[in-house]
Amino acid sequence: MDHICLVVAPLDWPAVIDSGVLDVVQGPVTRSGARGDGQSIYVRDPDGNTVELRSYPQDLDQPPLDGELVRDPATRERAAADFGHVVRTVPEAVLRPGSVADVAAVVRWAAGAGKQVAAQGARHSVYGRAQVGHGVVVDMSGHNTIHHVGADRIVVDAGATWRDVLAAALRDGRTPPVLPE
């Protein structure tokens, strides 16, 4: 036997590693086990033994969703960047909503758990205005349907970009009366 494995509650592994409390040998990486894929790190205990700490996503306390609550480091890192690149706050998770109900469910769940929620579109703002640390970022970019271009309004989903809106309007020979530079 070269190590023992302890299943622990889901943790913010990068924050745990950054804290410097543990002597981390490897990770976090995805490893398969009896309960499916989990996030795992190897640490060295004070006696020099190697101990694996592993968490499983199904142990997370979260509401049922049509979309997904993503916790992988790369996705969370992307949500910690904005146009200014001055403030960098890594969220605990990123919601890719599958429905409007998902957004409501996560806002309710976060409120009950004392967590923060921030919506993100294209993250073109600065100073971390669309970032949260202790909570969830809602990535609206997947909800970008242009529903209707009318004579006096254009109805779009919350993640639609100006580029898409303009392209849709131009197809009808129109432009929005105001555009960002």
In the complex, least distance from residue 88 CB atom to ligand FAD, rounded to whole angstroms: 14
Judged by beta carbon, residue 53 or residue 90, the one nearer ligand FAD is 90
> Does 117 contact ligand FAD by CB under 6 A?
no
Judged by beta carbon, residue 41 or residue 132, the one nearer ligand FAD is 132
Q: In b/e form, how buried is each residue of 5-41, taking b as 16+ CB within 10 angstroms?
A: beebebebbeebbeeeeeebeebbeeeeeeeeebbbb
Stretch that binds ligand FAD, among 8-16, 62-70, 89-97, 114-122 (CB under 6 A): 114-122
User: Which of 84-89's residues contact partners 24+ apart within 8 Å by CB, and which partners?
Assistant: 84/125, 84/126, 84/127, 84/128, 86/126, 86/127, 86/128, 87/126, 87/127, 87/128, 87/131, 88/128, 88/131, 89/128, 89/131, 89/132, 89/133
> Does 63 contact ligand FAD by CB under 6 A?
no
Q: How many residues bind ligand FAD (CB under 6 A)?
A: 16
Q: How far apart are CA 142 and CA 139, in angstroms?
A: 7
The closest residue (CB) to ligand FAD is 121
Stretch that binds ligand FAD, among 12-20, 68-76, 86-94, 118-126 (CB under 6 A): 118-126
> Does 118 contact ligand FAD by CB under 6 A?
yes
Q: Which residues bind ligand FAD (CB under 6 A)?
A: 82-83, 118-125, 129-130, 140, 158, 180-181
